[in-house]
Structure 1
Amino acid sequence: MKRIIIVLILVGTLGLTAWTLLDNKKEVEAKVYKPDADLKVGVRTAVAELRNLSEETQFLGSFLPNREVEIRPQAGGQITQLPIEEGQFIGTNRLIAKLDDEQLRYQVEALQVTLEGYQNDVRRYEALVKGDATPAINLERAQLNIRATEAQIKQLKKQIANTTVSAPFSGIVTQKLVEKGSVVSVGSPIAKITDISSLKLVVDVPEKAINQFRVGQSLPIETEVYPNVRFTGRITMIGAEGDAAHNYPVQITVSNSGANPLKAGMYGSIANLNKLKTQTLAVPRQAIMGSTKAPQVYVVENGKAMLKPVEIGTTTNQYYEITKGLKAGDQVVTSGQINLQNGTLVHAQ
């Protein structure tokens, strides 16, 4: 008897659960949104039309100085003169620094006295050799001593010349690394000179565009600091080797302007207008759906959005060339595709 009661309770419980689930399903289905088949979806459209496709690509880079050098003396010693300041313009061969050369001059003076003594010896030996009063070897030794002393004097004079440090070219002192009275060693930097009479704009150009440039080509240059001024530069170098991202350095040399002076480190850009094709069927890039291997577009026909496969060719920043699947005058959807299915009623906004 108890078993029968338990079975009846289980059956009743299962039946109640099933009825509850069925009732809940009806309530859920009643709440689920069911799209109105006659409701039109708002979209934006464009017309597929023939266009002269061209692409203007901007390449950004930084200006580098025409020349820049760290001044390093070829002699060591204490700086006795340093007539430069940072930001100062100096001309070619202008004095940058003078090192103490007093000890070297003393050595030259001593050697000149020694040289005079050897010259007197030569004159005496020449007279004695003629009279066979002394061996000729003494005369030869005196002559060799003269040559050795003259060589030492030349070496010291070269060292004295190295104590005068001059500018190798005209430019601006961009760094002053020592002060008057400092003791420097051979090769230690004392200043930096930068020549910005002309500058080099270096931009990285991707592999697909590098063949559009050639050495000697003139290009317009724009800068952020002078947005309304366009400079003209000339390509002076195209890199023979790219980086890991397949970008190649292109160097454009531009003369500096007194009215709109440029400085090293400023940004500059070049625009390269690449005429791709003339009179080809094109649609805006926003119209293309899917991948470039299987592109599709929604075409509005009789108020409905019809999904069609297409084939694409040349691309620019704004348009895709359509080689198959559309004809001129077709109205394609450029915005709102996420709300569409094949055959959805639409109206252009």
Structure 2
Amino acid sequence: MKKIIVIVIVAGFFIATILTLRNNKAIAEKAIIVEDISAKVIPVSTAIVERKDIEQNLSLIGTILPKSDINIVSEAAGRLVALNANVGDYKSAGSVIAEVDSELRKATLLNAQAMYEKAQADADRIELLYKENVATLVQLEQVKYSLQAAQAQLIIAKRQVKDTKIIAPINGVISMKMVDKGAIIGMNAVIANIIDISSLKVKVNVSERDAFTLKKADKVNISTDVYPGKTFTGTVAYISSKADEAHTYPVEISLANSSITPLKAGMFARITFSTIFKHQILTIPRNALLGSIKDPKVFIAKGNKAELRKLTIGAENGYDIEILGGLHAGDIIIVDGQNNLKDGTKISVVNH
């Protein structure tokens, strides 16, 4: 029994020795491989970091709005005796949309007209008597004041009758109707809503940095999901001088509305500002960048070795990236072959 135990112990020791030797051999082989890789010279292409002008295409989502959007309001209270407005109807500016009962107002107008005519006759008569030294100056002044008061009442009565006719303030389409014929309405009641979509405007909010690169009359490209592949051209009409609560600046873009490819108010649109220029900024080619936009890095050529640099980046246009930190003008960056590199890898520049 003791002999068997000794044999087992010796066999176990022998196996453990073999495993240890194999493990040491594997570690040594890996070290050789790592040494070979670090000693290997990687061919790369480079470019010089420089300052230049870039054009940035800023793309944002905005909302299409009508040129004008107006509530049609009644300036007279009373019963609505006529209503000529249905949703979708086109109305010309000045056309009658609705009418409020005017019977009493017309009676008031007739009375005001009669009072004015009487006051005018009295004034003419007293003035003639005054010239003949029959009427006094006080009497003449009194009839003139009465004439002015009657004239004022006549103007008011005419306006009250006129206000019973509710007219369209602009050329446009009725988008909403709030009341029906026969309804009793108050003064300043909204009868309907009218919009002018002969031309449109697009509203979009831009960041503080982008707001200062835009200019009034800049041309922009506008696209919608309704017309895939179709691009409309708009013009920057207004840039707010004051930020909103979100610290963005409202921008308004004017846009013609074609009868062939008509757009509707309330649609979403993608606006591409292609005229945002940045002048003499530090840039690198987009393909030189390693990592994500949130953690950008680049390799620079330092002698015959690659050195990894962390970057702070700004604007980009798909080809060039603005460098805000991490590089200087004249630095040599690696633009091809960088995926095979580590910090400190030996390199060979094959073109420059």
**Shared fold per TM-score greater than 0.5:** yes
For 1:182 and 1:263, locate their aligned partners in 2 and report how far apart those are by CA, in whole Å.
31
| Partner residue in 2 for 1:179 | 180
The one-character-per-residue Cα deviations of 1:195-239 (angstroms, maximum 9, x if unpaired) are: 111111112222222233211122222222112221111111111
| Partner residue in 1 for 2:349 | none
| Partner residue in 1 for 2:338 | 332
For 1:217 and 1:329, locate their aligned partners in 2 and report how far apart those are by CA, in whole Å.
34
Shift of 1:274: 4.7
Unaligned runs of 5+ in 2: 1-15, 38-43, 346-352
The one-character-per-residue Cα deviations of 1:151-183 (angstroms, maximum 9, x if unpaired) are: 222211110011111111101101110111111
Matches within 5 A, 1:150-165: 150-165=151-166
For 1:88 and 1:125, locate their aligned partners in 2 and report how far apart those are by CA, in whole Å.
56
User: 1:48·1:283 contact (CA, 8 Å) conserved in 2?
Assistant: no
Code of the residue aligned with 2:285 in structure 1: it is A
Query: What secondary structure does 1:190 align onto?
Result: strand
Shift of 1:48: 5.3
| Partner residue in 2 for 1:221 | 222
Query: What secondary structure does 1:57 align onto?
Result: strand
| Partner residue in 2 for 1:97 | 98
Shift of 1:256: 0.6
Query: What secondary structure does 1:227 align onto?
Result: coil
Q: Which of 139-148 and 122-131 deviates more?
A: 122-131
The one-character-per-residue Cα deviations of 1:246-266 (angstroms, maximum 9, x if unpaired) are: 422221101110001111111
Query: What secondary structure does 1:158 align onto?
Result: helix
Matches within 5 A, 1:118-137: none
Q: How many residues align?
A: 304
Shift of 1:74: 1.3
User: 1:288·1:297 contact (CA, 8 Å) conserved in 2?
Assistant: no
| Partner residue in 2 for 1:287 | 290
User: 1:234·1:253 contact (CA, 8 Å) conserved in 2?
Assistant: yes
For 2:196 and 2:166, locate their aligned partners in 1 and report how far apart those are by CA, in whole Å.
18
User: 1:298·1:307 contact (CA, 8 Å) conserved in 2?
Assistant: yes
Matches within 5 A, 1:69-80: 69-80=70-81
Q: Give the 3 Å change call, closer, same or farther, for CA 298–97 of structure 1 in structure 2.
A: same
| Partner residue in 2 for 1:199 | 200
Shift of 1:146: 4.1
For 1:325 and 1:138, locate their aligned partners in 2 and report how far apart those are by CA, in whole Å.
100
Q: Give the 3 Å change call, closer, same or farther, for CA 237–279 of structure 1 in structure 2.
A: closer
User: 2:60·2:204 contact (CA, 8 Å) conserved in 1?
Assistant: yes
Code of the residue aligned with 1:208 in structure 2: it is R
For 1:196 and 1:235, locate their aligned partners in 2 and report how far apart those are by CA, in whole Å.
18
Shift of 1:111: 3.9
| Partner residue in 2 for 1:272 | 274
The one-character-per-residue Cα deviations of 1:288-346 (angstroms, maximum 9, x if unpaired) are: 47986x945599xx9xx976236676652655466576545641129xx9xx8977xxx
| Partner residue in 1 for 2:150 | 149
> So what's the TM-score if we normalise by structure 1?
0.69
For 1:244 and 1:154, locate their aligned partners in 2 and report how far apart those are by CA, in whole Å.
47
User: 1:112·1:153 contact (CA, 8 Å) conserved in 2?
Assistant: yes
Calculate percent identity across the aligned residue pairs: 25
Matches within 5 A, 1:238-277: 238-268=239-269, 269-272=271-274, 274=276
| Partner residue in 2 for 1:316 | 316
Q: Give the 3 Å change call, closer, same or farther, for CA 103–226 of structure 1 in structure 2.
A: same
Query: What secondary structure does 1:243 align onto?
Result: coil
Aligned-pair RMSD on alpha carbons?
4.5
> So what's the TM-score if we normalise by structure 2?
0.68
Code of the residue aligned with 1:308 in structure 2: it is L
User: 1:63·1:200 contact (CA, 8 Å) conserved in 2?
Assistant: yes
For 1:164 and 1:85, locate their aligned partners in 2 and report how far apart those are by CA, in whole Å.
17
